Structures are given as structure tokens and as C-alpha cells.
Amino acid sequence: MVYTPDFLRRLYADMLLIRRFEERAAQLRLAGHIPGFLHPSIGQEAVAVGACAALEPQDYITSTHRGHGHILARGADPGRMYAELFARREGYNRGKGGSLHIASAALGIMGANGIVGGGIPIAVGLALALTVRARLAGTGAPTAGVAVAFFGDGASNQGVFHESLNLAALWRLPVVFICENNLYGEFTPQHRHQPIRDIAGRAVAYAMPGVVADGNDVLDVFRVVGKAVTDARQGRGPTLVECKTYRLRGHYEGDMGHYRPPDEVAAWQARDPVVTFRERLLAEAGFTTADLEEVERAVEARLEAGVRFALQAPRPAADEALEDVYVETHDGSALA
């Protein structure tokens, strides 16, 4: 490995933060603190962390219904995320979004999305805006940043996926399409929802590079997405990156995932991206158990503080329901 210890520690810390954030969220949901849906990304942490490690602060992402990982990897505060899950006013979306819609414009997170595929063209538009900004700045750079669209294997069957790839390739926009192929769309395995194995192959139809990464290996994701991001920054246009991975839990919290063969689950469990990366850090990168335990304690402390913050956060007042429908708040009467 040629990476610095700080970088590797950060990757591990971020993956662990996502894992523990979602494990706690599941418990908090059982305890009645979360009124809405929860789609855990446990098992897919390497995709979020590897991809976001290739991004800069000025870049944008759009995310999916399974977005906690992307959002945390982009630097979001777990406390404000929990507050949003608890539907509190201090949540990122002031209690109006919940898990499906967490956004932070300040961090370039233009929303998790309740509509499968819905964020894909939005990322194309963010990329377009970044080229406009570069043009207005007059520096001669092709773009002021890169946009990343995260989506699943199921989303790649949506028409808007194809429309968006075509448009982005045609206009050579600085966008990276990252498909997290976790082998299921809800309860339906990949072989029953699409006649292909490699979604990356769909890039051929748009004369765009289509590449496959090992989605359970954070460094492989970082390498492959990093190349795509560099190409986008330099004006070489979009790439479709497929990350092969697996979600280790049900589609949503409460789904036991009985539709999946136990040996398949076990095989992927053995490739748990957080566990295998930890082993690699110990075996190949000179980390000691004590080093990693320190990281683990820091993650726990952050989450502990986050939960405490969120539990104490006030609930929204009923009159906030009419705020932010429009920029100038209208009075909410029938035709306002």
C-alpha cells in the first residue's frame, strides 16, 4: 500500500462510523425514536467511503434511499443526522426530510432521494452548473468541480438513468455515475430484474467508459472512482463506475431478508468490508490493535454525543409546516 497512515486511518474511521451509526439507528428505531423508514447500507460502507475520499469540498453528490453512508462519508455530522431521523428541528432538514431525504447544501450533499433513480439527472445538472461556474470565472478550467450520482442496480433500469448518461456523455459533463450493485433491488435479485451481470457494460451504449470496482475494497473503490473523478475534472467527461457489493441486512430495518440464500449471505459476510480492511491494516500497514481501538473509541464517542444531541433537540412546532414551501412564505391558504 502506498497510502499514508493518516489517510488509511481516516478510511477505516469513516467506514466504522457508518457501520456503527446504522447499527445504533436500528436500535433507536426499535426503541421508538425514529418514526419513518430506514434503509441500512451495512456491508456497503467501502463504496461510500472510497468514492467520497476522491472528492473535494466543492464537489457535489446526489444520493439514494440508502444514503446514510454517502452522507456521513461526505462529512455530515451524525448528531444532526440522528436529529433528522428523530424528526427534530435541529435535523439537517428541520425534520421535514427524514432518512430518505437528508441533504446538506453546505457539504454539497444535494439530497438522498425517495425516488429510485431520481437523483441521477440532478447530478448531471449539478455538473452542468460546475462547468457554467468555470466559464463565468474565466480561468479556462473546464469545470469548477465534479458531481457524483450514487444509485443502485435497480435504479439502472429506470429510463432516467439512460437519458442522463446519454445527455452527460453528449455534453462531456464532469459527472461520475456510481452504481452500487448490491445484487438486489428491494427483494428481487439482479438476475430477475436485468439480463446482464455487469451494469458497467451499459456505458458502451453512451460511448462512455464503464468500469468495475470491488465494492467491498475501499482502496479499490478509491482507485477506480479517483481515476473517473480526475477524468471528469480535466474535461474528459463522465464515467460509469459499478461497485460490486452486498447489503448484509434487509432492504429496510424490519425486513429479515428471507429471500436470500443463507450461503450467499455467509459468503459476503466473510468479505465484510469493515472487518477485512481492519485485518489488512493490521497485517499489511503496520497498525497495531491499540491504534485501531483508539479509532473505535473515538467513533463511539462521536456517536454517543450525536445521539445525546438529537434526543435533546426540540421537536418542530406545527406552524413550521408551512415554512419553506416557497422562498417567501405564503400564508398557506387555499391558493397561496
Partner 1 sequence: MTPRRPEPQAADRQLSYAAAIREALEEELARDPALLLLGEDIGEPGGVFGVTQGLWQRFGPHRVLDTPISEAAIVGTALGAALAGIPVVVEIMFGDFATLAMDQIVNQAAKLRYMTGGQVNVPLVIRMVTGTAGATAAQHSQSLEAWFTHTPGLKVVTAATPYDAKGLLKAAIRDPDPVLFFEHKLLYTSRGAVPASDYTVSLGSGRVVREGTDVTVLAYLAMVPRALAAAEAVAAEGISVEVWDPRSLVPFDRAGLRRSLARTGRLVIVHEAPRRAGFGAEVAALVAEECFDLLRAPIVRVAGLNAPVPYAPELEDAVLPGEARIVQGIRAVMAAGRP
User: 103 near 148, Cβ under 8 Å?
Assistant: no
60 touching partner 1, by CB under 8 A: yes
Which residues are paired to 244 by β-bridges?
A: 181, 214
Compute the chain's Rg from CA coordinates.
20
| Residue in 43, 78, 118, 237 binding partner 1, rule: CB under 8 A | 118
140 touching partner 1, by CB under 8 A: no
Give residues 236-255 in contact with partner 1 (rule: CB under 8 A): none
Between CA 246 and CA 250 the distance in angstroms is: 11
Q: Which is nearer to ligand TPP, 60 or 184 (CB)?
A: 184
| Residue in 104, 143, 190, 239 binding partner 1, rule: CB under 8 A | 104
Query: Nine-digit cell at 57?
Result: 469540498
Q: Which stretch binds partner 1 (CB under 8 A): 45-53, 87-95, 192-200, 283-291?
A: 87-95
Q: Which is nearer to ligand TPP, 222 or 246 (CB)?
A: 246
Between CA 19 and CA 250 the distance in angstroms is: 14
From partner 1, ligand TPP, none, interface partner of 127 (C-beta below 5 to 8 A by class): partner 1
CA dist 79 to 30, 50, 52, 117, 239, Å?
A: 18, 23, 20, 28, 34
User: 50 near 222, Cβ under 8 Å?
Assistant: yes
Query: Nine-digit cell at 328?
Result: 417567501
148 touching partner 1, by CB under 8 A: no
38 touching partner 1, by CB under 8 A: no
Q: Which is nearer to partner 1, 144 or 219 (CB)?
A: 144
Query: For residues 56-71, b (16+ Cβ closer than 10 Å) or e, as one string?
Result: eeebbbbbbbbbbbbb
**Interacting residues toward ligand TPP by CB under 6 A:** 65-66, 114-116, 151-155, 182, 184-186, 251
318 touching partner 1, by CB under 8 A: no
Residues binding partner 1 (CB under 8 A): 60, 62, 91-97, 101, 103-106, 110-111, 113-115, 118, 120-130, 132-133, 135-136, 147, 159-160, 163-164, 166-167, 170-171, 323-327, 330, 333-336
